[in-house]
Amino acid sequence: MSKLDRSFYLMPTLEVAKNLLGKFLVINGKKAVIIETEAYIGPIDKACHAYGYKRTKRTETMFMPGGHLYIYMIYGMHYCMNIVTEKEGEPCAVLIRGIEGASGPGRVCKALGITKEYDRKDLLSDDIYIEEGIAVKEEEISIAKRINIDYAEEAKDFLWRFSIK
DNA sequence: GCTGCGATTATC
DNA sequence: ATAATCGCAGCG
């Protein structure tokens, strides 16, 4: 099966977040089915690290072209894995919240062995990539508010969390 | 150079 | 409900 190409990651962030459901994430010889995602859209999203195009050492990754990995440490003990979307200069990403067998962004990274080493990696490389997976029907997708972003004011009510029922 | 906190998780 | 634990942004 072939890996997804650049054009997949350049679609609108919400489309990518939804379309990632059911795809296979391949890394270290492991293959994981993506079952839950969340979208983060920097230009308009107070919950996003790069809100309002804020550039810092950490958020710099999100300004890369779609199809790269954005990995960051949270609470000093867990890594979170994101897939950068949109064209270069638009800081947007999709957080992988769950794979089959591991629920929660921290657990996903632990299960797959993801660390800071993978930050800025290209998903078109051979080390790690995503390929076509199982088909997910529109009616099998549940849409909800994102989690743990209560500080984000109006953005906390955006329905940007997607999962397979 | 300090200070405070976070896109979480495990355990009470 | 709360502790664990640390990189780094913000401030000055």
What span, in angstroms and rounded, lies between the C-alpha atoms of A115 and A49?
A: 19
- On whether the CB atoms of residues A69 and A128 are closer than 8 A, the answer is yes
> pLDDT tens across A97-123, in order?
999 999 999 999 999 999 999 999 999
Question: A23: how many CB neighbours lie within 10 A of its CB?
Answer: 20
Domain range annotation of chain A: 6-164
Q: Which residue has the tokens 């993978």?
A: A118
Token pair of A146, please? Answer: 């994102």
- Nucleotides in B strand less than 7 A from protein CB: 6-10
**pLDDT at A106 (0 to 100):** 97
> pLDDT tens across A27-55, in order?
988 999 999 999 999 999 999 999 999 99
**Span A6-164 CATH architecture:** Roll (3.10)
Nucleotide whose C1' lies closest to the alpha carbon of residue A57: C8
- Nucleotides in C strand less than 7 A from protein CB: 4-10
> Considering the entire predicted model, what is its pTM?
0.95
Asked whether the predicted pLDDT for residue A1 surpasses 80, the reply is no
- A 1-60 residues, CB < 7 A, strand C: 54, 56-58
The count of residues in chain A is 165
**pLDDT at A116 (0 to 100):** 96
What span, in angstroms and rounded, lies between the C-alpha atoms of A162 and A145?
A: 9
